[in-house]
Structure 1
């Protein structure tokens, strides 16, 4: 009988991940994700935000465990939840730095669609993605549009590890955000 990976010491977790990664990660997901989803949603995020944060935390845990660098002082699921909390707090701080006047005062305006605005917004975002360069465009489209796993993206782009692909995805996403912010800032100054 195999112990559940959320109760294993770091070496046993490493062995479980190496023996049957999918089964071990699925067990960790079932054990820890509901708590992460509750935490993120309770702190201003969406279920999609919780999925993003959890996926990043799983990558970190996996790389630490298989690389022999993981030291657990609690269960693996508790460790995952703590990584997710830290990453979500970091994301909230990052979002707080965005210009507050970028959002309308009336939340209903967020859902209001005008045909002209949606037609202009679509190509504009794609224009920003195009300006990032071929590699960033390829990574962001693969991850967000085609929903490819980071393992596949790492292999397709010749990264040595999934963590490297994750870091590059974040760098590309941050470049895209900064580009949009600069353009928005320029528009608000000009108007």
Structure 2
């Protein structure tokens, strides 16, 4: 009886709160299960990410500083499109890079590959940002490439996973591949 009265008193003062039905942990960095990011948050994320593609400085500094700020330590890049370009066997494991520092070290080798990066659409969800984009040129080639990136964010709004899927044939041609198309019709 006394324990029940104590719990009622605590609940009345706001010290005890009802747990969420999905059982998510509460804390200073917790976002409810489906609290949407603002459109401004998503736009800023994409703006910063675009600077890493073009190797230009963002409001956070150079490309390395921007990646260090945006990416969680457990960051993972996954992509069937990139595996196809790398002539890897796409067998259900779409991991390209696992770990923030592995990603940064590998990406810094390439420099600026992209020019004319355009946002076609930015869609926000619970803890994801979907970015539909177009790149006017890759390297010196002028074949436009379109693709979709899906950014998954943790409670601290750091990117934990990036899914990249794009027009692999356009990328291959831009990188100098000789692509022969079958006759249709």
TM-score normalized with structure 1 length: 0.26
Larger helix proportion of the pair: 1
Larger Rg: 2
Larger strand proportion of the pair: 2
**Greater relative contact order structure (CA < 8 Å, 6+ sep):** 2
